[in-house]
Amino acid sequence: MLRIPEHGRSVADVQEALAGLRTHDVPWREGRTFGYVYEGGGHIDEVAQHAYMSFLYENGLDPTEFKSLLHLENEVVAMCIDHLRGDEQCVGNFTSGGTESIMLGVKAARDRFRVAHPDAVPEMVLPRTAHAAFHKSAHYLGLKVVITEVDGTTFRAVPDAMRAACNENTALLVGSATGYAHGVVDPIPEIAAIGLERDIPVHVDGCIGAFVLPFFRELGVAMPDFDLSVPGVTSISMDLHKYAFCPKGASVILHRSRARRAHQVYVCAQWSGYVLANAGVQSSKSGGPLAAAWSVLQHVGRDGYRARFAELLDTTRRIVAGVGEIEGLEVLGQPEMALIAIASTDPQVNVYHLSDLLGARGWHVQPQLRVTNSPANLHLTLTPGHTPHIEGFLEALAACTEEARRTETPAPPEPLLAALQQVDLSAVDEDTLAQLLGAAGIGEGGALPAERCVVNQLLDAMPLEARNRVLRFFFNGLFVPAE
């Protein structure tokens, strides 16, 4: 077993070791990776790094002792409330990311529900396109998820279906602005109206879209209302570590009122140590992400964001138009954000195969599995860093589509597919699961077959619940102590 080194290593030695490790990561700095990292360019990096490092050791555990952090948080939240057209009653908190913001929105709704229904299981009505973080929150916080299918052409939530899914235990309704997968805005005013009708809180997931959409509106894009100006919207999550170009660990959760936020706060004064009072999930936390987020917002400013998003809008439109010209491909829905889902219209073109072919040429896109009425597709998250690479990407996409059409799609072994049809994956033991995955070229410790499309086809062929079981098994095997 690896041990903490008996003799400490020199600064240079440690730094060199670190630098070497990154060589196998996705090459995100080259503008050929469509996801994970959001680059704003200019001097953002410099501003963020300086602020992050200056507040590296400050502790957000106690905002009464670290008044600088309380000040920064209240300023960041105020700017976000203003951006999303909230009023003086609105409040919010800085969090570590979209998942934490969503978890807090769900917790606030759950605890509000519990006041009136101490013994019932709270339910959350989720469109199919709502982010996985809501499912995770329901899992952690003990809510029941009720899924409604979205429109199969626009990929927007269907308010009537959501209304029909409500009952006396519904504690929260969710809409996205925009959803991650297709980049479209759900009909938030209609969803919020259901909330008002039935006194149910409505959370808008603006993690990826809410920061950008107001700027797109300023740039002349027709934009439905989705923010705190809509009556009935009670909370919104918005990430700063995505399109506000802040380093990771930056998001906000905003609430309509202090009374609603009260259900988010956790306090414990019945143990033997300090009084613990947390607005979020984390307790001790570095001041770095908050200081960096505040500094990036100050440095870029509305004019800087507007200029970047004007370029982003243009880039998005050019890629949507370019994909439309490639025979055998289509863009799903009408993206209202810099998020694009590309599906195949030609049975000879398998998108997972296409993804592998693009990967071999150094272009990294994100496969999205088929779910109910959303077909298998490839996702692009565009940022200003992609602008110089539009032509190159579209050429590669066209060439790889042609290659995917001409060549055989590597497929999972027939016996394996047959075996999958026969076993109930949610019931098989771990050994059987390891054998099945081994047959597909998936080994312990994260070894994947060179042809990822084989794995994605297998996942596609499984019932949704079974996918979760298989992936949990795989992930559990990924993190094994180093030798």
The residue ranges that bind ligand PLP (CB under 6 A) are 97-99, 102, 131, 133, 176, 179-180, 205, 207-208, 239, 251
- Give me the least distance between CB of 238 and ligand PLP, in Å please: 10
- Give me the least distance between CB of 280 and ligand PLP, in Å please: 13
Q: Which is nearer to ligand PLP, 226 or 457 (CB)?
A: 226
Report the distance separating Cα 346 and Cα 329, nearest Å: 7
Q: Which is nearer to ligand PLP, 97 or 335 (CB)?
A: 97
Q: Which is nearer to ligand PLP, 205 or 336 (CB)?
A: 205
- Give me the least distance between CB of 469 and ligand PLP, in Å please: 23
| 251 contact partners, CB below 8 Å, separation of at least 6 | 94, 95, 96, 97, 98, 100, 101, 207, 237, 238, 239, 240, 241
Report the distance separating Cα 290 and Cα 300, nearest Å: 16
- Give me the least distance between CB of 133 and ligand PLP, in Å please: 5
Q: Which is nearer to ligand PLP, 204 or 455 (CB)?
A: 204
Place of tokens 């997968």: 181
For 107, 277, 334, the CA distances from 283, given in Å and listed in that order, are 16, 8, 41
Secondary structure (H, E, C), 174-187: EEECCCCCCCCCCC
What 3-state DSSP class applies to 119?
Answer: coil
- Give me the least distance between CB of 124 and ligand PLP, in Å please: 14
Does residue 167 contact residue 161 with C-beta atoms inside 8 Å?
Answer: no
Q: Which is nearer to ligand PLP, 93 or 99 (CB)?
A: 99
Give bridge partners of residue 93 from the DSSP assignment.
253
Q: How is residue 192 written in tokens? A: 């919020």
What 3-state DSSP class applies to 62?
Answer: coil
Q: Which is nearer to ligand PLP, 248 or 364 (CB)?
A: 248
- Give me the least distance between CB of 96 and ligand PLP, in Å please: 8
Q: What is the largest CA-CA distance in the chain?
A: 70
- Give me the least distance between CB of 178 and ligand PLP, in Å please: 7
- Give me the least distance between CB of 97 and ligand PLP, in Å please: 3
What 3-state DSSP class applies to 341?
Answer: strand
Report the distance separating Cα 140 and Cα 123, nearest Å: 13
Does residue 63 contact residue 70 with C-beta atoms inside 8 Å?
Answer: yes
Q: Which is nearer to ligand PLP, 93 or 176 (CB)?
A: 176
Torsion, CA 390, CA 392, CA 396, CA 398, rounded to 10: 60
- Give me the least distance between CB of 100 and ligand PLP, in Å please: 7
Q: Which is nearer to ligand PLP, 38 or 356 (CB)?
A: 38
Q: What are phi and psi of 236, to 5 degrees?
A: -140, 140
Q: How is residue 293 written in tokens? A: 């987020």
Q: In terms of residues, how long is the chain? A: 483
- Give me the least distance between CB of 9 and ligand PLP, in Å please: 33
Q: Which residue is nearest to ligand PLP (CB)?
A: 98
DSSP state for residue 283 in the 8-state scheme = S
Q: Which is nearer to ligand PLP, 131 or 353 (CB)?
A: 131
Angle formed by the axes of helices 67-83 and 288-324, to 10°? 30
Q: Which is nearer to ligand PLP, 176 or 456 (CB)?
A: 176
Place of tokens 């959001």: 38
